[in-house]
Amino acid sequence: MNTPLKSLPESFWFGVAVADHQCEAYREDCPDIQDQWEAQRRLVRRQQATDFWNRYLEDIRLSQEMGCKVFRFSLAWSRLEPNPGQYDEAAFAHYRQVLEAIRSAGMEPLVTLHHYSWPLHVEARGGSIADDFPDLFASYVEQVVSRLGDMIHYWITFNEPNQLIFGYFKAGDYRLPPGNPPGTSVDEQMAKVQRLIPNLFIAHAKARTVIKSKFPNAKVGANPFLLGLPKWSRQFVDWQATRLKEKDWVKQGYRYTEQSFPWPRDADVVVAMLTVTPERAEQVNFSEVYFIDQLRLLVQFNSQVQQSAQLAGQRVAVVTGTTAASALPTAIPQAIPHPVPSLADALPALESGTVAAILADEVLLRGAIAQTPDRYRLLEESLQPVQPYAVGVTKGNPRLLEAVDLAVRKFREQGYLSQSAQSHLPHLDEISASVFQVRQRVPISFNGEAAFDPTPFRNPELGVWLQKIHKRGYLLAAVRDDVPGMGYRDPQTGEYQGLEIDLARQIAEVILGDRNKVKFKPVKVQKRLSVVSSVFQCLDPLLQSISILSSILNSNWWNLGMAGKLPTFLCPEGCAYQQDFVGLDYYWGTRGFQPKRLIQLSKSSQGTYTQAPVWPEGLYYLLKQHAEWFPDQEIIVVENGCVVEADGISRIDYIRQHVAQLIRAHAEGIKVKAYLCWSITSNREWGFAFGPNSDFGLYHIDLDNDPNLTRIPTEGVAGYKALIQASVASS
């Protein structure tokens, strides 16, 4: 092995980690906020997870065999306090057994009190932004300390506290619970974040006081999640955070969301049966969903085809630029795609026998059947049951998007959607009930008519593009003109009609106060995205990079607060310097201002790990920076680790390269105390599908297919063990 380890002292610790929600099995009698979140958003549920609750002895033994000296785990607040003020002594006894097992194995326990999860009853009282949250958290910590404190020397109050803001601020989507009701404005999101940050600092300080009042020698800290940024940009974003004025707080939210020049090419909005997909979301912002469709197959009425499997080897027409075209190879792998420009071109091909079927949205196909009864029929099966339609808006227009979201909610919730459907879709009753609905990810809670108040969007001062619409005097909406019932232009009168036409009028009513102040621009299927994509879209990667680097939301605000460098409206008086060691999590980074790498870095925070940029030297610079801020405190790398492969680098090479930077820092006198590899085993990575992109485990567990949850060593086990042994031998 090329990595020299002789500079690490005998007192240095290598370790591993687990977390309660990611590793402990689900219990119906004490679900946590993450369980609710995953259920509401139809994410992957933890189920048995790794069954660490029952198999902790095995995982502790495996860690011991690698030579680890520290083992991190977290306490499940929802298990310890399943009901307000009612504590489960059996759960406390269990965690005491875990602590005893760790100490018996010659390892130091590092215990996390709050690891992205908390009881539902805490959230019901207002959660982390409630006025009494710091006291609730301190009360919970007091119970833990009174029962387990004698076994714990190192404590972490909040896991990655700087990431908890993304449970209230929508960075593309809410990365964590609890989220906000649909349509929550950037102003409202930032107001909640402004309540959250001080609450976390106060709760941390109160918890530390509780711990040290009973165990003065205990060491308390936290572990913010830090990205590796070029030195100048890291200094700039941190400098911004230290000088932020409260009056400028909301602007930070808009800086984060306005990642493009807000200048669409040809229309303000596109309302044209535009299905939401991740690929399209890279090009435009989507409103809330207003209609759910599904992909179906249309055949001639007398066709012998009864199911999609019979279409193997036959031609199936799909309209280019649609989700049907992209879905066909997966839905019917052996079918032969027959691209056509429109449904009008597909129908003659079906009638002539050129194609055996047409794959398209059901609402389109139902319209064709309604116009020519007894000529076509639909196959019973649905090939892709969820086709959510939303309004497309140019990126960089958060105020316009908020206005559109309000219009969609009014259209949906105040009965206009149903009225429009009854008027324009007479064949709607033939569509299954599961199709015509809007599936909400988060339960909606409206505050009466106030939730539908359009007044803010009639103020032309709010947003550059809203100003332009007000000055122009009408909304320009790109719509379909060839789909009866949805978007159709009468060839005789030139009048537009349909459900989406009614929705476009609703948007005009919200923004301009008059549903007739809208002009329609017919758009072909293939051009739907381009009409609202930015004129300067080629510059979007650069603008996204600037956004990533320029917002306090990506600053190291937690440790800036601990160092007494943050404004008091974020870190209140008495909350600075309330730590006994410096903790940090580091995974990804980039050394230079390369837009592609910076965008990959941003996406890594949202779970795209295999393409995340690896920059081991970024860890060294962070260690050096924190040694300058906290010269007398130990530094613990609480989390560092890799999926099977990231950025073309294998897990064990990733670990070696990062440990080498840690050794470099230690050789320069930086007080690095420990390095913990995330994680000892595969685990449920916060609702992500399990696979190489989400598997950080040194020991692999086939979570989806192995009922025995067998721990299988990867090459990372032998590599990490050898690295630890080399360190011990050279001490």
pLDDT digits over 202-234, tens only?
Answer: 999 999 999 999 999 999 999 999 999 888 888
CB 662 within 8 A of CB 15: no
Given a cut of 90, whether residue 309 has pLDDT beyond it is: yes
**Residue range 235-287, pLDDT digits in tens:** 888 888 899 999 888 888 877 765 545 555 689 999 999 998 878 887 788 99
DSSP string, 369-399: HHHSTTTEEE-S--SEEEEEEEEEEETT-HH
In this prediction, residue 461 carries a pLDDT of: 60
Helix locations, 486-616, DSSP H: 499-512, 540-550, 557-562, 595-604
Amino acid (one-letter) located at 503: L
**Residue range 594-639, pLDDT digits in tens:** 777 877 887 777 778 998 999 999 999 999 999 999 999 999 999 9
**Residue range 287-306, pLDDT digits in tens:** 988 988 889 999 999 999 99
13-256+540-730 and 269-527 have identical folds: no
Q: What phi and psi values does residue 14 have, to the nearest 5 degrees?
A: -100, 145
In this prediction, residue 446 carries a pLDDT of: 36
**Superfamily (CATH) of domain 13-256+540-730:** Glycosidases (3.20.20.80)
With 0-12 / 13-18 / 19 or more C-beta atoms within 10 angstroms meaning exposed / middle / buried, residue 13 is: buried
In this prediction, residue 435 carries a pLDDT of: 41
In this prediction, residue 1 carries a pLDDT of: 40
- Mean of the pLDDT values across residues 498-513? 95
CB 725 within 8 A of CB 661: no
Residues contacting residue 124 through CB under 8 Å, at least 6 positions apart: none
**Residue range 256-267, pLDDT digits in tens:** 765 545 555 689
Average pLDDT, the chain: 89
In this prediction, residue 438 carries a pLDDT of: 41
Q: Where are the domains of the chain?
A: 13-256+540-730, 269-527
Region of poorest pLDDT, from 104-118, 173-187, 432-446, 464-478: 432-446
In this prediction, residue 385 carries a pLDDT of: 66
Residue 556 CA to residue 225 CA, distance in Å, equals: 8
Q: What phi and psi values does residue 332 have, to the nearest 5 degrees?
A: -135, 80
The encoded tokens of residue 44 equal 């992957």
Residue 565 Rama label (left phi>0; alpha psi -120 to 50; beta): alpha
Residue 138 CA to residue 101 CA, distance in Å, equals: 27
Which of these CATH numbers, 3.40.190.10, 3.40.50.300, 3.40.1190.20, 3.40.50.10600, describes 269-527?
3.40.190.10
CB 482 within 8 A of CB 528: no
The encoded tokens of residue 66 equal 């690698």
- Mean of the pLDDT values across residues 454-465? 68
DSSP string, 31-86: -BHHHHHHHHTTPPP-TTTT-HHHHHHHHHHHHHHHT-SEEEEE--HHHH-SBTTB
In this prediction, residue 444 carries a pLDDT of: 36
Helix locations, 130-181, DSSP H: 133-148
Confidence of residue 657 (pLDDT cuts 50, 70, 90): very high
Helix (H/G/I), strand (E/B), else coil: 391: strand
Residue 166 CA to residue 315 CA, distance in Å, equals: 46
- Strand-pairing partners, residue 177, are none
* Greatest C-alpha distance within the chain: 89
CB 387 within 8 A of CB 164: no
CB 548 within 8 A of CB 613: no
Helix (H/G/I), strand (E/B), else coil: 209: helix
In this prediction, residue 200 carries a pLDDT of: 98
The encoded tokens of residue 375 equal 């000529």
The encoded tokens of residue 576 equal 């600075």
Closest CA to 65 of 713, 684, 731: 713
Region of poorest pLDDT, from 73-82, 362-371, 461-470, 504-513: 461-470
pTM across the whole model: 0.77
Residues contacting residue 111 through CB under 8 Å, at least 6 positions apart: 72, 73, 74, 75, 99, 148, 152, 154, 155, 156
In this prediction, residue 288 carries a pLDDT of: 87
- Mean of the pLDDT values across residues 53-60? 98
